[in-house]
Structure 1
Amino acid sequence: MNLNLTGHHVEITPAMRDYVMSKLTRITRHFDNVIDVSVILSVEKLRQKAEANVHLRGKDIFVETESVNMYASIDNLVDKLDRQILRCKEKSTDYRNHTNGGPKDQEAEQA
């Protein structure tokens, strides 16, 4: 997983970088196909904003959150990413297990 961490109007400290890295390990725990993650942390007056763009195999996911505290924004960001990645994973497994009503279903009904 490649991580690109940038800051707009805020300096990214090593503590922030380590915090983001430790939180993003939660995403790879659920889904191994994470190719690239871009995280943008920005400050606008009283709003601390965190944005993430995750490139999965075959899909891109974008999430943004705002809060008064930067660490709270990062926590909310990872929670949203986790939910969306789980939803994406469930959809891919549902499509794989779903049959299209072919001849196998008709033979099962006759038996």
Structure 2
Amino acid sequence: MNVSISGHHISVTEAMDSAVRDKLSKVERHFDQIQSIQVILSLDNSGASDGGKKSHKAEAILRASGQEMFVQAYDDDMYKAINEMADKLDRQVRKYKTRLERKKGRGGRYEDLDMVEAAPIA
């Protein structure tokens, strides 16, 4: 899995990098067909001049075979935003995997039903 981490209006520290990679390893355990994940960590200072809190944003774009998923999370703390982003991505991946398994399983069940109905009754 190829993971690229970049920062927008913020420099990505070693601790941020390891936190992102640690959280995304959980996503990779649930779905092994991930081609790449692009993570963008950013800092929005728009509310800072008005006395508001700075808003940290963590975004991720995951590319898997035939599928692209996007998530974003905002928080006052970058690490909380990273955790929330990883949790959202994990939920999307598990939901996608469940859909794939149901679709795959559905074909098998219909074939089994046809064979049962076609069997002669003695």
Common fold by TM > 0.5: yes
Segments of structure 1 that go 5 or more residues without pairing to the other structure are none
> How big is the shift at 1:61?
0.5
Corresponding position of 1:32:
32
Give the C-alpha shift of residue 99 in structure 1. 3.2
The residue that corresponds to 1:98 in the other structure is: 106
- 2:49 aligned residue: none
Structure 1 segment 37-56 matched on structure 2, within 5 A: 37-45=37-45, 46-56=54-64
- Per the alignment, residue 71 of structure 1 pairs with 79
Aligned length: 111
Query: TM-score normalized by structure 1?
Result: 0.91
**SS of corresponding position for 1:99:** helix
Pair 1:14 & 2:14 matched: yes
CA RMSD of aligned residues (A): 1.8
Identity of aligned residues (%): 33
C-alpha distance 67-99 of structure 1, shift in aligned 2 (>3 A): same
Which residue of 63, 78, 84 corresponds with 2:92?
84
Amino acid at match of 1:96: K
